[in-house]
Structure 1
Amino acid sequence: MKKKDLLINTNGYILSLLEKILDANVQIKGIENIPKNNPRIFVANHFTRTEAMLVPYTMYNLTGKKVGVIADDSLFKTYFGDFLSNLGAMKKSDPLRNNHIIGDLVTSCKDWMVFPEGRMVKAKDIEKIGKHFCVKIDGTCQRIYTGASYFALLSQALRQDYFNHKIKNFKKFQRKYFINDCSEINENDTMIVPINISYSKIRNGRNFLIDMVEKLIDNIGKNFKEELEIETNIVLNSKIIIQVLEPISTKQLLQAYQNEPNHSKTISAIRYETTHNFMNTIYQSLTINFDHIFILVLFLYPKKRINIKVFKRLIYLVINKLRNRNYFLDDDIDKDLIYLISYEKYEQYEEVLKIAIDDDILYDANDEYIINKQKLLASYTHHTIRIKNILKVILNEVLVNEKVVKITKDYVENSEDKINKKIVKLLIKQQKDSYLKSYMKFKEFADVKNIDIGENKYLDLETSDTCIITVHGFSSSPKEVEQLSIYLHSNGFAVYSPRLDGHGTSPEDLKNKKWEDWYKSVSQTITIASIKYKKVFIIGFSTGGLLSLLSANKIYHEFTAIVCINAALNLKDIRVKTLLPAVSFWNEIVKLFNSNEYSKDYIENNSENPKVNYDKFYVDSIKQLSILMDKTRQKLINVTQPCLIIQAKDDPIVNASSAYEIFEKISSKDKELVITEDNKHIIINTDGKEELFEIILKFIKKNLYPQFLH
């Protein structure tokens, strides 16, 4: 109902469209910081025209109270003029605007929104002169306006005068501040509510909305066209994050001056400091996204050339450091972040990288980038910088946050060797922390494994330049591949055995995990191994075999070869092929009758190795395994590395057709297929395992020392 009331007497089509767009793209945080019963004046940074509508509209929907805003006169000549008027906006040129604002704050009839920067800061170029901030417009520094502090402080001073019976002519007071007879003076103090408005991501370029407007409007001016391009791209492609910060009580600000009879003198004494403090809070509360760290690392890097791997690892380190501090981070900043450093295409990185290369800020030179800081720092006019150099705008925004700059600078000044060591240490810690967190969560469960079962294993060997990664199977743990790992380690290789996320603790830990979570566990270990060793082999058992084959998508020169053992591409297990669909069907039936207590979301597992494997499979987990099978099958053609495929002829779990399908579909020129006479699934732990281990060792040596094997 509130939205409907707000849109009365407006162009319905335009505002209906606007409503859908804003609701789809706005993320509001810190709602608990909005005072409930106080008069409120919201203060925020200013980057787009949309904000003059966006923030008041959003606050109205949260509080039910209209929010006035001072808007440029030109906005009232557009389709949005009626919308702004209904919100309670006033023209910048209105001679009585200040009196209206103070009256609204005294009575709390309406909240207000003020942008102390005074105008859109398109370059986001903020400078601190002494204690106070200024915004740079075309090279000219303009101090932040203190009007918001003035309105807030004066409204509170007048309120205190009213309740202290110091207003001698109340009728005159009412007329001056447009206070109606029915309006009561709100006894609660005026609160200044700082807001940071951040965008993830800011992009330029044409889109269908620009094409549509150009067809409807002739002779679009350059300035309007620039704003149209940026703001339509924000609406279509960006996430708009409104971070509501801790409110400031004007009553407390005035407390030290309660005996001062002259309001003008009091307010003059504190308005500048008040404005500086809340603007500092706003600037330091930027919601940091991936683009910020990408461009900040480039800017602060002390050399002209940067190794691509080192660049990615620096970004990873900085983001992880910020994650563990009290910074406002975009929810997507570390989504799938391990892919950034584990030799695959990472969408957020590729997107901003393209901008940097297109704008000649970066040049690709094989395994390095050449940084053109002159291009990055190139200045353009107020109305062209967002089109000509969007990464400079993003850089300017984050440079105001001194703490983030300091953290990033500390990292970029490290040597390549030190950066690599920090990455290894961090990834190992992340793996250990992840396991400990899972174990502690399920340690009281009756079916939880012993704590040593699920630990990630790192068998380093300083005399070796080769690391072999052994990956366990579904519902198991690194303990499953321990005997193979020890054998390989005793033959002169470092061996790492990662715990796949959700494994090695309790079946409930695996219940809500995705196949991507398992793949990320392997990706972490691959990254560690590739940094510490010159050659990397991946040996995967069962589901680990699928993950090993899928890892062939990673492009890094250390990747030497793959071994997959009983890779679970096609299952023979009757429970999965027949019982699982039946369980799923039964669960759907009981849900129809609201009888969830009769549903069953798992099937029993009689494992060959009950000390290591889970005793039940959750239906959701097996569905993820099924998805992994399909994903691996689609990617088999990408496998080009030497590959050894081992399959037990009478495996009770995995159909032997899996091995033949893998052998036929991979693109490896050097590939071997070995079929054993075993009738067990976990052949790496059977009595005949020594022969199997020797086959694997021979394959490894052949790919390490081909000159000695014929």
Structure 2
Amino acid sequence: MKKNDLLIDTNGYVLSLLEKILDANIEIKGIENIPKNNPRIFIANHFTRTEAMLIPYTLYNLTGKKVGVIADDSLFKTYFGNFLTKLGAMKKSNPNRNNHIIGDLITSCKDWMIFPEGMMVKSKDITKMDKNFCVKVDGTCQRVYTGAAFFALRSQILRQNYFNNKIKDFKKFQHNYFVNECTDINKNETMIVPINISYSKLRTGRNFLINMAEKLIDELGDTFKEELEIESNIILRSKITIQILEPISTKDILEKPYKNELNQKLITESIRYDLMHNAMNKIYESLTINFDHIFILTLFLYPKKHINIKHFKRLIYLAIKQIKKQDFYYDDKIDKDLIYLISYEKYDQFEDVLQLAIKDEIIIVENENYYVNKKRLLDNYTHHTIRLKNILKVILNEIQIQEGVKTIINKLINKSNDDIDLELLTMLKKAEKDEYDEAYLKIRHRNDVKPKHIGEAKYFTNRDNDTCIIAIHGFSSAPKEVEQLAHFLYDNNLNVYAPRLAGHGTVPEDLRDTTWQDWYKSVCRAITITSLSFKKIYIVGFSTGGLLALLSTRKCFKEFEGVICINAALHLNDIRVKAFLPALTFWNDIVKRFNENDYAKEFVHNQAENPSINYDKFYVEAMEQLNLLMNKTRKILSDIKNPILIIQGKDDPVVNPSSAYEIHEKIQSENKKLCMIEAKNHVIVKGKNTDELYSLILEFINSKKTL
């Protein structure tokens, strides 16, 4: 967020803190819903004290107009008082507060921000009363305040009276609402703009702001301590999503059923309540759903005390995928790298909230299950302590009012484990097919596109046994590359699945636009698909596929039997990657700095061994990703302990044979074997001279099967 003149002349020693607050991780959605030329009164839910500064400042940066806010008198006595005043805030005790607000809305000199809940709702405990939401504070239900509706409607009535020449005493009107003679009355209607403020990754814990406060202030009160810890962690660690909703027309309200109840002096309580409750209902229902919400709601709704860890993760995965298909607001990162959640390795979003649940003794890990302490989860504590003592209950309260999300999760948790596994398997296979179909559809008319069957994932999985081989193709290639090997294994009574790596099997530009992580996620999906159907899984990777196979050993699942890497591309003979790539990248950076993009070298031509399958050019970006994958794989070799067969062609023109020796030397597997075979070409997985290679692979698999 950019700095602006609101920060100028603020007390020096608090300036850095203000900048930290105002540069918080903020995402603004629905900017198009802000009326451009209308007087505006923004209304929002209220969770933190910082919102009184942060939201008006954010809106000011968007609109260029100051946004007034009513703030507690005590804030003006602190170091932030000068900033609040410059922002346009007004003391709660100001005797002319209401008339100032109405006057600003009449003239559109300043927008206003109101929090109808009237207080910070620290527990986020919202419930329905008479079909409308209300705030629960320490067990008492409190309706939202209607002041914002009064200000908006009153300003619009006065505006209409002014332009209809119904203001009898104009001097009194000016005096009452602080309207100067030279100030024009805005002809456009007052608009009410609802805003939902959502937070992802609400966490507690010490940080440098708390440490600084303890040094500056002798005694911190308990309430101040609580607010400082929560809000400083939000500033430093959370993402704040400001969802701006469709504006509400005051003119429409005045022309509808309430017309006879309104005059320039009277706005009935029923009108104000209807307007505010309808607006607040929209705000509450427009929560930006994040991963934490789905984690804790699934845990809460699950009917048993114990839940299998693998099953729990699959429920979360399916819930998130279904939520994304429906009309909900959700965090853009709710499903970032979500395949990791169900593919047997640590998934950061899950691990982060899991550790919080374990710390708060809501979850106890028992072998392959979680024991859920729901009594602990549901402990509300008090208004001023719940955020520190049970932040997951706060997150649960927030998502509980989303009936559509609850319906999705309830349907899932009432299905059997087998049904969930089948649903997940069907979804993953469809996602794989759709991904390729969509990619192919975009380039199907290009002259250089491969026939579609080249890039399609290959399934040979009709054998009546519990073993499946995942066969991974190489860089710039496609599943067709390993099809001959797949047929051999299938003919030897083994199930085989050859997935397509993202960006492959279409045109070179698709590979240019992917990362090595995208290729790895294709393998993750393949592993999950096979583990849902088979009890024993081997991963065979050729060339770059060999690197991905080695990387997949990070996964911990009982079905994983072993790895076979063939000509794994740890070190290349290709001068384009070893020396030319760094020079080419450097050259491109130079010419782009001088805006001479025409001189940039985007790709190098490839003399493919199998041109019907491989791309005919390598883009620089794709080569850089291959280089990153090679470096990543080197770093994890010493962690590998799985049974492994390493096969390398002695005279491979692409992969340096030192790759195989390094892999064999550095891995920690007790069951490891290195086989060098006579071969002068790189793509040894297909063609005529495959007998020795295939025999070695089959021998390794059969030896494991007999153990």
The normalised TM-score by structure 1 is 0.97
Question: Using the alignment, how far apart are the partners of 1:590 and 1:185 within structure 2?
Answer: 55
Corresponding letter in the other structure for 1:522: V
The aligned runs of 1:49-64 (5 Å cut-off) are 49-64=49-64
Q: Deviations along 1:190-243, whole A, 9 cap, x unmatched? A: 000001111111111111111111111011110011001101111111111111
Question: Using the alignment, how far apart are the partners of 1:593 and 1:351 within structure 2?
Answer: 44
Q: State yes or no: 1:506 paired with 2:504.
A: no
Corresponding letter in the other structure for 2:76: F
Q: Decide whether aligned partners of structure 1 residues 260 and 581 sit closer, same or farther in structure 2, where only a CA change above 3 A counts.
A: closer
Q: Which residue of 2 aligns with 1:118?
A: 118
2:364 is paired with a residue of what secondary structure?
strand
Question: Using the alignment, how far apart are the partners of 2:113 and 2:591 within structure 1?
Answer: 53
Q: Which residue of 2 aligns with 1:174?
A: 174
Q: Which residue of 2 aligns with 1:136?
A: 136
Deviation of 1:5 (Å): 3.7
Q: Decide which moves more: 282-291 or 87-96.
A: 87-96
Deviation of 1:582 (Å): 4.5
Deviation of 1:287 (Å): 1.1
Q: Deviations along 1:28-74, whole A, 9 cap, x unmatched? A: 11111111110000000000000011111111111111111111222
Corresponding letter in the other structure for 2:21: I
Corresponding letter in the other structure for 2:560: F
Question: Using the alignment, how far apart are the partners of 1:378 and 1:59 within structure 2?
Answer: 36
Q: Which residue of 2 aligns with 1:396?
A: 397
Q: State yes or no: 1:342 paired with 2:343.
A: yes
Question: Using the alignment, how far apart are the partners of 2:399 and 2:293 within structure 1?
Answer: 6
Q: Which residue of 2 aligns with 1:284?
A: 285
1:684 is paired with a residue of what secondary structure?
coil
Deviation of 1:132 (Å): 2.1
Q: Which residue of 2 aligns with 1:213?
A: 213
Q: Decide whether aligned partners of structure 1 residues 50 and 692 sit closer, same or farther in structure 2, where only a CA change above 3 A counts.
A: same
Q: Decide whether aligned partners of structure 1 residues 632 and 68 sit closer, same or farther in structure 2, where only a CA change above 3 A counts.
A: same
Q: Which residue of 2 aligns with 1:252?
A: 252
Deviation of 1:4 (Å): 4.8
Q: Decide which moves more: 70-79 or 358-367.
A: 70-79
Q: Decide whether aligned partners of structure 1 residues 617 and 270 sit closer, same or farther in structure 2, where only a CA change above 3 A counts.
A: same
Q: Deviations along 1:107-126, whole A, 9 cap, x unmatched? A: 11111100011100000000
2:464 is paired with a residue of what secondary structure?
coil
Corresponding letter in the other structure for 1:162: Y
Q: Which residue of 2 aligns with 1:580?
A: 581
Deviation of 1:590 (Å): 3.8
Question: Using the alignment, how far apart are the partners of 2:501 and 2:292 within structure 1?
Answer: 30
Q: Which residue of 2 aligns with 1:33?
A: 33
Question: Using the alignment, how far apart are the partners of 1:423 and 1:301 within structure 2?
Answer: 18
The aligned runs of 1:484-633 (5 Å cut-off) are 484-591=485-592, 593-633=594-634
The aligned runs of 1:131-530 (5 Å cut-off) are 131-256=131-256, 257-258=258-259, 262-263=263-264, 266-461=267-462, 463-530=464-531
Consecutive unaligned residues of structure 2, counting only runs of 5 or more, are none
Q: Which residue of 2 aligns with 1:680?
A: 681
Corresponding letter in the other structure for 1:45: N
Tell me if structure 1 keeps the 8 A contact 2:605–2:616.
Answer: yes
Deviation of 1:354 (Å): 0.7
Q: Which residue of 2 aligns with 1:690?
A: 691
Question: Using the alignment, how far apart are the partners of 1:196 and 1:583 within structure 2?
Answer: 48
Deviation of 1:261 (Å): 5.5
Q: Decide which moves more: 325-334 or 147-156.
A: 325-334
Question: Using the alignment, how far apart are the partners of 2:167 and 2:408 within structure 1?
Answer: 53
Q: Decide which moves more: 187-196 or 82-91.
A: 82-91
Question: Using the alignment, how far apart are the partners of 2:206 and 2:20 within structure 1?
Answer: 21
2:676 is paired with a residue of what secondary structure?
strand
Tell me if structure 2 keeps the 8 A contact 1:2–1:64.
Answer: no
1:120 is paired with a residue of what secondary structure?
coil
Q: Deviations along 1:259-300, whole A, 9 cap, x unmatched? A: 556355554342211111111111111111111111011011
Corresponding letter in the other structure for 2:343: S
Corresponding letter in the other structure for 2:255: Q
The aligned runs of 1:60-71 (5 Å cut-off) are 60-71=60-71
Corresponding letter in the other structure for 2:497: Y
Q: Decide which moves more: 614-623 or 175-184.
A: 175-184
Q: Decide whether aligned partners of structure 1 residues 154 and 267 sit closer, same or farther in structure 2, where only a CA change above 3 A counts.
A: farther
Tell me if structure 1 keeps the 8 A contact 2:473–2:481.
Answer: yes
Q: Decide which moves more: 249-258 or 643-652.
A: 249-258
Deviation of 1:677 (Å): 0.8
Question: Using the alignment, how far apart are the partners of 1:348 and 1:492 within structure 2?
Answer: 40
Q: Decide whether aligned partners of structure 1 residues 607 and 56 sit closer, same or farther in structure 2, where only a CA change above 3 A counts.
A: same
Tell me if structure 1 keeps the 8 A contact 2:577–2:627.
Answer: no
Deviation of 1:576 (Å): 3.1
2:685 is paired with a residue of what secondary structure?
helix
**How many equivalent residue pairs?**
706
Question: Using the alignment, how far apart are the partners of 1:273 and 1:176 within structure 2?
Answer: 28
Tell me if structure 2 keeps the 8 A contact 1:580–1:603.
Answer: no
Q: Decide which moves more: 683-692 or 113-122.
A: 683-692
Q: Decide which moves more: 499-508 or 60-69.
A: 60-69
Deviation of 1:7 (Å): 3.8
Tell me if structure 2 keeps the 8 A contact 1:131–1:276.
Answer: no
Percent of residue pairs identical: 64
Tell me if structure 2 keeps the 8 A contact 1:300–1:409.
Answer: yes
Question: Using the alignment, how far apart are the partners of 1:2 and 1:462 within structure 2?
Answer: 62
Question: Using the alignment, how far apart are the partners of 1:592 and 1:93 within structure 2?
Answer: 57
Deviation of 1:415 (Å): 1.2
Corresponding letter in the other structure for 2:502: D
Q: Decide which moves more: 504-513 or 14-23.
A: 14-23
Tell me if structure 2 keeps the 8 A contact 1:541–1:566.
Answer: yes
Deviation of 1:369 (Å): 0.2
Question: Using the alignment, how far apart are the partners of 2:566 and 2:243 within structure 1?
Answer: 51
Q: Decide whether aligned partners of structure 1 residues 517 and 261 sit closer, same or farther in structure 2, where only a CA change above 3 A counts.
A: closer
Tell me if structure 2 keeps the 8 A contact 1:361–1:375.
Answer: yes
Question: Using the alignment, how far apart are the partners of 1:546 and 1:395 within structure 2?
Answer: 41
Deviation of 1:578 (Å): 4.2
Deviation of 1:665 (Å): 1.1
Q: Decide whether aligned partners of structure 1 residues 540 and 50 sit closer, same or farther in structure 2, where only a CA change above 3 A counts.
A: same
Question: Using the alignment, how far apart are the partners of 1:581 and 1:129 within structure 2?
Answer: 66
Corresponding letter in the other structure for 1:254: L
Deviation of 1:589 (Å): 4.8
Q: Decide whether aligned partners of structure 1 residues 7 and 684 sit closer, same or farther in structure 2, where only a CA change above 3 A counts.
A: closer
Corresponding letter in the other structure for 1:224: F
Tell me if structure 1 keeps the 8 A contact 2:149–2:276.
Answer: yes
The normalised TM-score by structure 2 is 0.97
1:42 is paired with a residue of what secondary structure?
strand
Question: Using the alignment, how far apart are the partners of 2:588 and 2:232 within structure 1?
Answer: 46
Q: Deviations along 1:390-445, whole A, 9 cap, x unmatched? A: 00001101112211121122212211111111111111111111111211222233
Corresponding letter in the other structure for 2:252: Q
Deviation of 1:586 (Å): 4.1
Question: Using the alignment, how far apart are the partners of 1:235 and 1:298 within structure 2?
Answer: 28
1:133 is paired with a residue of what secondary structure?
strand
